[in-house]
A and B are shown apart, each in its own frame.
Chain A
Amino acid sequence: MSTEFKLPELGENIETIQVTRVLVSPGDSVVADQPLLEVETDKATIEVPADNAGTVDSVLVSDGDEVSVGQVMLTFTDSAAAPTAAPTAETEPEPAPDPVPPTSDIRHPTSSLLPPPSSPSPAPPTSDLRLPTSSPSPTPYNVPAAPSVRRFAREIGIDVTVVTGSGPNGRISIDDVKTHAKQRNEAPALVAAGSIATPPLPDFEKWGAVERKKMAVIRRKTAEHMSLSWGQVPHVTIFDKADITELDVLRKRYADHAVEAGGKLTMAVMVCKVVAAALKRFPQFNASIDMGTREIIYKQYVNLGVAVSTERGLVVPVIHNADQKNMVAISVEISALAQKARDGKIQLDDLEGGTFTVTNLGRICGTYFTPIINYPEVAILGIGRAQPEAIVRDGQIEMRTMLPLSLSFDHRLIDGSDGARFLGWIIDAIQEPLLLSLQG
């Protein structure tokens, strides 16, 4: 019996991926959970494992292909060891789509991101088979949309009659429905920021030879995400320096503890710990804004994103519940995540759910810079390069080690004085580490 292997759901809002490497060939026997393919999403490179043991019949994708969720990538002949359930059960992993959306979603269409079209979700309870107020209705006669498009729109809760068709004579495609859904989520922010059409590029070859190269997925997504953040968020960046002379002494003294645990006690790790404590004290820095509902979403958890530069591009692994971890634990986790990111082994779970980001250019060079907020977070802290400086203390010139810090924040939520207080608290805590225990 032949079984189709479809691209499974990989995470929220992931619809297509790029196949970077096919790891099996027809005729190969595989065991359950054996990686079959390496794929690249907008966020990371991940391995897709086999559901069951079996023999690969055919491989329908090759390196570089773009694949959508649900698309068949391989076919299998199940081995005798595999459970021989009814054929329908095995050949149809297709999950039932979402139940009819709750009415609150209809009233505030912008209040939540749309679920992916086929995310698995249980059917409504039998006791409530009738949901007359929110059941989809037939589309009017003359909407130029194919049955497949109408069906897709229904499934994701979009009224196809209000979608603008991009095709000839206003024909509506599935992409038009997706674009409409995306715009609906982003509409209030776009109105706030205004938008200017991108002018065409000049002919660069007039001035000499050029080479055009396709953007990697991560580069493209970084570009899109940064434009989105920059376009939507009114950024303010403030700068200051922290005196880390004493903290650095402590860092060196206790460095071995981290090494023993498998981490590395860097200044960035210590700053992360301080930031996690600061976010507990300044909850609006650990929040998001919902302009659609005019609400501020305060997160009851502190998940710290740490920007890591890799060969494949910028990724931001997340230290979950960073406020509950000590410096040694954080150092171990950062080392592990950074290594995974560089090896392309990072999991989506490692990248999701961040509430604040720390980005460190200090290992390279530089003092201050203006980091761009990792939307939908509302602030980001940039760490520059620590340098010994001549500082006036108590009327005397002293040599102190100073760490430049740059804090960007979303002025829609955070005013300048709040930002200054937040950064000030961080600097105080760095300079007087005991404050962490007293106040953090």
Chain B
Amino acid sequence: METDVNSKHIVVIGGGPGGYPAAFHAADLGMQVTLIDDAPNPGGVCLYRGCIPSKALLHAAAFINEASEIAEWGITVSKPQIDLDKLRARKEAVIAKLTGGLGQLTKQRKITYLQGRARFADPKTLTVTMSDGTTQTLTFDAAIIATGSQPIHLPFAPDSPRVLDSTTALDLADIPASMLLVGGGYIGLELGQVYASLGSRVTVVEMMPALLPGADAALVRVLAAKLKKQFEAIHLKTRVAALDETPEGIAVRFEGKHEGSETFDKILVAVGRRPDAGNVGLENTGVVVDEKGFITVDAQRRTAEPAIYAIGDVAGQPMLAHKATYEGKVAAEAIAGMKTVYDPKAIPGVVFTDPEIAWCGLTEAEAKAAGRDVKVTSFPWAASGRATTLGRSDGVTRLVLDPTDNHRVLGVGMAGPGAGELIAEGTLAIEMGAVADDLAWTIHPHPTLSETVMEAAESAMGHSIHYTR
């Protein structure tokens, strides 16, 4: 017997940027949808304690920095006064507006929203413990696990209000005089810049030889130059051997390139995130989890259990909201019986520091590691009129091109203010199979930073208008 799409009941577990788009798309495809999350509204980590609140705070931080830099332009402003309660309230208002909006959209789509936590009782049944303490049993035609990820904690860190993770750091309890960032990844650096702008003396410790491990070194260099001025110290190839709470703060012992001990008012642990699939009763299903804790899925995001799908952070790297959203749409379509597949050619990554770092597709290092012959072109923003008018000549735009295939664009990377917005063109170029000529012969508005993409593409032919090597 064949089942009509419209009679299918889909349950989505987790209301983050993977789960709610999956639920919305499934509802738009005509299916009956139940969305389960323990927050009052959809949004997940991204909206409640991740992307959105951190960006709200970074907006404030950027203003503080610009206010100090504008003196070079002959404009002097007094040192900004910071009302921490008001700043926190503003951030909360942003969260409330966006999550409330998602709640409305959920209602408009006639999706059943259950505030609670779900566990599989067997491969066909879920038990939901509602936030009010009651329980419900649900059966489904297909379920989507979108339970996301959690910050990794250091096992030896003391349980103290002086030890923050990304969630508590966003609570903005106070502005510590000194702060140590454990981990030089994007979450730590973004929050570190917020605290540095608000007045904390920030130190970073990173085990790897560079900040933002995995990102293109040429892009990281641009950010590192700025951070060196903004931060107290950056300790690379160094690890934290011990953390002890003292009356003065947290005493930290370093090992590696930078040896010694130092006491900080607070430390922010941002050493990564781990998939969060432990609490949904997978042991009662045939779902397979790999050694890193990610649920194993196929190209349609289907798990080893035929009626159960998994998307987002819990289903594999990269742990990014927009990747989860894409997967959510794929899973909903797969359940509807459509011929759909997880098929991105480029997933943009953005570090919302100042300057921003953004890239997509293949990096130069990845190409080299794969033994691939690529051509990399670079356009320094010092040659960009727009960057100069902004007083920001430190940026760079880089293209990774395939010289054996008409200089097809394989990767795009940028560092500089607005890189996160500009990278969308790079992602589109890769998805559309563009070659350098396509970018070089697309008129870009003048004077904008987007021209750097066009000029980097011109460089591939050996001649950029504003830059000669």
Contact = CB atoms under 8 A, between A and B. Distances in A.
A127 B307 CA distance: 9
B143 to A, nearest CB: 11
B28 A92 contact: yes
B339 A100 contact: yes
A154 B343 CA distance: 11
B30 A129 contact: no
A129 B8 CA distance: 12
Interface string B296-313: 001110100011000000
B430 to A, nearest CB: 9
A94 to B, nearest CB: 9
Interface of B: 1-5, 8, 27-30, 109-110, 141-142, 298-300, 302, 306-307, 335-343, 345, 362, 402, 405-406, 408, 410, 431-433, 435, 437
Nearest to B8: A126
Contacts of B141: 126, 129
A3 B139 CA distance: 34
A83 interface: no
Interface stretch (A141-149, A271-279, A287-295): A141-149
Given A129-B141, A142-B402, A169-B435, 12 more contacts: A88-B27, A98-B339, A123-B4, A128-B306, A129-B306, A139-B343, A144-B435, A145-B433, A157-B339, A168-B437, A169-B405, A171-B433
Given A135-B298, A138-B341, A169-B435, A125 B3 contact: yes
A150 to B, nearest CB: 6
B4 A122 contact: yes
B2 A123 contact: yes
A423 to B, nearest CB: 48
Interface residues of A, number: 41
B466 to A, nearest CB: 26
A4 interface: no
A154 B340 contact: yes
A97 B335 contact: no
Contacts of B362: 141
Interface string A74-108: 00000000000010110010001111100000000
A142 B3 CA distance: 37
20 contacts: A98-B339, A123-B3, A123-B4, A123-B5, A123-B337, A125-B1, A127-B1, A135-B298, A135-B299, A136-B340, A138-B299, A141-B362, A142-B410, A146-B433, A147-B431, A154-B340, A154-B341, A168-B437, A169-B437, A172-B433
Contacts of B337: 96, 99, 122-124
A126 B3 contact: yes
A199 interface: no
A154 B3 contact: no
A230 B74 CA distance: 83
Interface string A324-341: 000000000000000000
